[in-house]
């Protein structure tokens, strides 16, 4: 028997155990960083004391309007301070936050409203027509709309709904936050772009979000008082937990409503931004910025890039501009980043293409993620030889609770005690993963997942289309874009422009095909479309002529 065989009197108590929650970061910051600036948007500066006060008012007001613990409150907002406040104010009353992708079509948003059962939706003035259209397509109770009018960006209220500031005025600044009694309680639900027509609701718990905040600090090499620019949409995996992370560090969240090269350079030069995350398209935007949009700055900016493997040439071009890039990889199901391309001191002498090639690796498991491996079809690790391919499998506290109202999909994703990512990779002898392909025909365009099945479904609604297939076509700006191959019905005609317009009316802009090829589709003897042949054609189309 061990010397601690008798553990009587060593139980959990209020003195030695508190459930982990990222809400605790803001409670602490409101005390010890009360006067530091927490949020920046144009001329607006919000201190941590005011931040916490407004969060308390939101939680109180939502409770006063009938929101109970476990209820869902949705947001349809760009990267503005109110979206950051919602990350704390909604769970402060015990509710679950559902940040919705503002680029989605009305039908999908209506589905999400209904599937999650949102009681209230905080909606930006510019997005009110989208929310109203989504509600018209719903079946079941619709959420109450609260208008968030971004006056700093020049908007004026529509006048038809209760405004956000009036909602806060209903609340008590001394409201006692409903901190979780169990750290497994649900904190957020985020809907994937999915690989089928309907997105899945990924549920986060307080423990996972808390540990993810710490993991990102380590991987991002953060010191106290960082300034983070909101390039990653706050609706996307809760901006990789950035809103919950910053109070822990006494940092500042610098909001960016419209992502442009000028906005990024201005924020770095004027606000002293030290960190931001974004897809490779953001890096290309900076590399190709007009001279008049560039601004000098005197510090190195730490950048997380994810969404698609960045080309080595992009990494080689961006770093001389003053950016240190770390590739991270993750999914909605892992609170955002789950692996990092950890840079080792022994690579300090690497330059040019050699340096960029290492930086282009997908990486190793981040701290707080127990393991990241590549598994074969039997669920066994493949050889670490940079040759054998398999599926990326992840395990740890930074994996979702599961898919809401979808136990079958949850069980499939967790088969064998690992989260199955659906992404194909190999593993190097020193343990680094490297994605080589995307499973299930996912197209990643500008960091957004596009379901080829969904795009094909939209095309098939056109009366002239007999058969179609959609694959990724390489694109310098977006990384990948959807490319459609179409067989027409006998006697029917339609132009490329007409089909693209047809899809644009049914899909988000990033999911709309950027090219249409009319041809007979290659098929197997059983009629299955051979997409690998179409990918080869799409790749040739993207090459310089």
Residue 460 belongs to a domain with what CATH number? 3.30.300.30
CA distance 502 to 504: 6
Count of structural domains, the chain? 1
Q: Is the pLDDT of residue 245 over 50?
A: yes
Q: Do the strands 369-375 and 390-396 form a parallel or antiparallel pair, or are they unpaired?
A: antiparallel
Say which residues have a Cβ less than 8 Å from residue 282's Cβ, sequence separation at least 6.
Answer: 231, 259, 264, 276, 305
In-domain check, residue 170? no
In-domain check, residue 234? no
Kindly indicate the confidence band of residue 1, based on its pLDDT and cuts at 50, 70 and 90: low
Kindly indicate the confidence band of residue 353, based on its pLDDT and cuts at 50, 70 and 90: confident
Question: ∠ CA 63-65-70 to the nearest 5 degrees?
Answer: 50
**Token pair for residue 169?**
């005025």
pLDDT of residue 443: 85
Provide mean pLDDT across the span 65-89: 98
CA distance 387 to 428: 8
Helical H segments across 375-474, by residue range: 407-413, 452-460
Q: Is the pLDDT of residue 411 over 90?
A: yes
pLDDT of residue 480: 92
Kindly indicate the confidence band of residue 363, based on its pLDDT and cuts at 50, 70 and 90: very high
Q: What is the pLDDT of residues 92-148, one digit of tens each?
A: 999 999 999 998 889 999 999 999 999 999 999 999 999 999 999 998 899 999 999
Helical H segments across 400-477, by residue range: 407-413, 452-460
In-domain check, residue 18? no
Provide mean pLDDT across the span 189-195: 77
Provide mean pLDDT across the span 509-522: 93
In-domain check, residue 270? no
Kindly indicate the confidence band of residue 351, based on its pLDDT and cuts at 50, 70 and 90: confident
Lowest mean pLDDT among 4-8, 12-16, 370-374: 4-8
Burial classification of residue 331, based on how many CB atoms lie within 10 Å of its CB (0-12 exposed, 13-18 middle, 19 or more buried): buried
Residue numbers of the domain that contains 483: 447-542
Provide mean pLDDT across the span 319-325: 94
Q: What is the pLDDT of residues 157-185, one digit of tens each?
A: 988 999 999 999 999 999 999 999 999 99
Of the chain, the percentage scoring pLDDT greater than 90 comes to 76
Question: 448 vs 27, which has greater pLDDT?
Answer: 27
Q: What is the pLDDT of residues 293-308, one digit of tens each?
A: 999 999 999 999 987 6
pLDDT of residue 438: 61
CA distance 476 to 308: 12
Question: 104 vs 196, which has greater pLDDT?
Answer: 104
Provide mean pLDDT across the span 361-365: 94
Report residue 530 CA to chain centroid gap: 31
Kindly indicate the confidence band of residue 198, based on its pLDDT and cuts at 50, 70 and 90: confident
Q: Phi/psi of residue 230, each to 5°?
A: -85, 75
CA distance 149 to 164: 7
In-domain check, residue 533? yes
Secondary structure class of 145 (helix, strand, coil): strand
Q: Name the strand (E) or helix (H) holding 32.
A: helix 23-32
Kindly indicate the confidence band of residue 309, based on its pLDDT and cuts at 50, 70 and 90: low
Provide mean pLDDT across the span 14-32: 97
Q: What is the pLDDT of residues 473-509, one digit of tens each?
A: 999 889 999 999 998 988 999 999 999 999 999 899 9
Provide mean pLDDT across the span 372-390: 93
Kindly indicate the confidence band of residue 196, based on its pLDDT and cuts at 50, 70 and 90: very low
pLDDT of residue 221: 93
In-domain check, residue 465? yes
In-domain check, residue 493? yes
Q: Is the pLDDT of residue 42 over 50?
A: yes
360-382 CB burial, b ≥16 within 10 A, e <16: bbbbbbbebbeebbbbeeeeeeb
In-domain check, residue 35? no
CA distance 127 to 100: 11
């Amino acid at each position: 028997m061990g010397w601690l065989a008798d553990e009587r009197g060593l139980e959990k108590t209020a003195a030695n155990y508190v459930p982990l929650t990222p809400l605790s970061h803001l409670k602490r910051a409101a005390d010890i960083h009360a006067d530091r600036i927490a949020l920046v948007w144009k001329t607006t500066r919000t201190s941590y004391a005011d931040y916490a006060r407004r969060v308390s008012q939101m939680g109180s007001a939502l409770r006063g309007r009938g929101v109970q613990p476990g209820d869902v409150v949705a947001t349809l907002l760009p990267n503005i301070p109110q979206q950051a406040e919602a990350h704390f104010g909604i769970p402060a009353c015990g509710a679950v936050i559902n940040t919705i992708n503002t680029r989605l079509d009305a039908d999908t948003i209506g589905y999400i409203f209904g599937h999650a059962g949102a009681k209230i939706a905080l909606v930006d003035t510019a997005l009110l027509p989208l929310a109203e259209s989504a509600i018209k397509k719903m079946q079941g109770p619709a959420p109450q709309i609260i208008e968030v009018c971004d006056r700093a960006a020049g908007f004026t209220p529509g006048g038809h709904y209760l405004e956000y500031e009036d909602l806060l005025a209903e609340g008590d600044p001394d409201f006692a936050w409903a901190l979780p009694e169990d750290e497994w309680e649900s904190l957020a639900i985020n809907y994937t772009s999915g690989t089928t027509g309907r997105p899945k609701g990924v549920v986060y718990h307080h423990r996972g979000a808390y540990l993810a905040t710490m993991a990102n600090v380590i991987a991002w090499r953060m010191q106290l008082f960082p300034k983070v620019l909101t390039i990653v949409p706050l609706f996307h995996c809760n901006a990789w937990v950035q809103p919950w992370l910053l109070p822990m560090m006494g940092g500042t969240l610098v909001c960016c409503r419209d992502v442009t090269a000028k906005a990024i350079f201005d924020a770095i030069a004027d606000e002293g931004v030290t960190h931001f995350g974004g897809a490779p398209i953001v890096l290309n935007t900076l590399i190709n910025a007009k001279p008049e949009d560039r601004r000098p700055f005197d510090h190195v900016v730490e950048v997380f890039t994810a969404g698609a493997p960045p080309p080595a040439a992009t990494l080689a071009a961006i770093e001389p501009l003053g950016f240190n890039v770390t590739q991270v990889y993750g999914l909605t199901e892992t609170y955002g980043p789950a692996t990092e391309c950890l840079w080792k001191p022994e690579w300090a002498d690497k330059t040019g293409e050699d340096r960029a090639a290492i930086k282009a690796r997908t990486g190793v498991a981040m701290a707080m993620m127990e393991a990241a491996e590549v598994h074969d079809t039997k669920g066994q690790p493949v050889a670490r030889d940079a040759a054998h391919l398999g599926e990326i499998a992840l395990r740890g506290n930074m994996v979702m609770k599961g898919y809401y109202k979808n136990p079958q999909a949850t069980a499939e994703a967790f088969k064998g005690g690992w989260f199955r990512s659906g992404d194909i990779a190999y593993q190097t002898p020193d343990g680094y993963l490297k994605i080589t392909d995307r499973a299930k025909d996912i197209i990643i365009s500008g960091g957004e997942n596009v379901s080829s099945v969904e795009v094909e479904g939209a095309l098939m609604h056109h009366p002239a289309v007999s058969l179609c297939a959609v694959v990724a076509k390489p694109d310098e700006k977006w990384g990948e874009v959807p490319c459609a191959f179409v067989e027409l019905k006998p006697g029917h005609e339609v132009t490329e422009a007409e089909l693209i317009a047809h899809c644009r009316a049914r899909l988000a802009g990033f999911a709309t095909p950027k090219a249409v090829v009319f041809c007979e589709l290659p098929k197997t003897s059983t009629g299955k479309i051979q997409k690998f042949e179409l990918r080869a054609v799409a790749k040739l189309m993207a090459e310089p002529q």
